[in-house]
Every structure is written in C-alpha cells, then in structure tokens.
Chain A
C-alpha cells in the first residue's frame, strides 16, 4: 500500500501568512493527488485535483504543485475562513490513502 505522510501535522499561522503543507508518497504516484479542506463539523471539500488543478469555485490563493512522491499545497495569503484541517489523497492506485491531516490554527 502507498503511505501518504503530511507535514506538519499542525501549524499556527496568522491572517495574511503564506502557508505551505507538504505530502510525501511512499512511492511514485505521478500527479494523482488531491487536496481537501475540512472545517469542524463540516463535510470535506476538494480544493485541488491532479496535483495542481484548482477545483471550480475555489479561491485562487490555493495552489498545488508536485509530482512523483512530493507534493505541496500553498495558501498564498491566509484568510480567516481558511483555518481548517487539510488532507491529501492519492488516487493513483487502490487502496486509496489519505494523509493524516494538517490542522491550521490561529496564531
């Protein structure tokens, strides 16, 4: 099975900060990676698919990059509504695997 390792597991940031979250795959997955945002008590929301394609309706301050085994989600200027937990998911092969999550908290 492919293991997905996210870092950091939690971080504190301020409004306006540039935030970067990393996801590493235990083996190459091409660009078959998606990023999700989940707020407390809410349904997860897909932000990015195929590593760098922005989901329709998602603000352009979110971007994704990477291929192979290392991937990055970047929030260019953190907004109050962006405090949430973020997950990566590899959809290269079965079983699908999520990262353990990165909680972005208020500094």
Chain B
C-alpha cells in the first residue's frame, strides 16, 4: 500500500525555522519526483516545491524561493522541507505528494505566529 506520512509541523515565531519530513513507502521512492503542496486555512492549493528522483533537480514557487529548501534521502525513503525566515503567510497545511500529485499525505500543519 502506498503511504506518505508527514511530520514536523508546529507553531513557530515569525523569522523562525522548521523542518518537515515525509516518510514514503509502497512505491519506488528513488525513482519518483516528490513535491510539497500547501493550503492556507480556508484557501486554495498552492504548489511549493518539487525535487527530482535523484535529488539533483529542485524547483520552487517564487513565494518561498530563497527561504525554503527541499531535499531527500533515498536511503531512508524520506523527503524534507527546510523552512526558514518564516512569515505569517506561510501558515498552512503542508502536503507531501509524489511528483504527479497522485499520492498525498494527510498533511502537516505549520503555524507562524508570535
């Protein structure tokens, strides 16, 4: 069974940092691009970032470029999103998905507030 499970969400102050993790199973992780998609409370879906299967290709939304870093450890079947210089507008449910958005986790809630 395909599973992606996010962890690492929480409350952080503006300007702070947080790292999200996504543990994947049930498919060939190292062959699959992986993405993060977020959804602010009551708002629509926003693509955040994608990383290629080998990890060499990374892509970011303009809204997070320079502040967020996507990475992966294929030996651990785990995807990461390092978030820094967090802003109130980064408050959202962050979903881990495969590169085609066919498989989604339940999401990790990130709240940026003082």
Contact = CB atoms under 8 A, between A and B. Distances in A.
Interface of A: 1, 34, 36, 38, 43-46, 49, 55, 85, 87, 89, 91, 94-101
Interface of B: 35, 37, 44-47, 50, 59-62, 95, 100-102, 104-107
Given A98-B44, A98-B46, A98-B47, A89 B101 contact: yes
Given A43-B95, A94-B59, A95-B60, A89 B102 contact: no
A11 B41 CA distance: 21
Contact of B100 (A34, A44, A85, A97): A34
B44 A95 contact: no
Contacts, number: 50
Contacts of B37: 44
Contact of B50 (A36, A44, A94): A94
| The 8 nearest A-B residue pairs measured at CB | A96-B47, A94-B59, A101-B44, A98-B45, A43-B104, A95-B61, A46-B102, A100-B44
Contacts of B60: 95
A44 B45 contact: yes
A50 to B, nearest CB: 10
A85 B53 CA distance: 30
Nearest to A101: B44
A49 B102 contact: yes
Contacts of A49: 100, 102
B45 A36 contact: yes
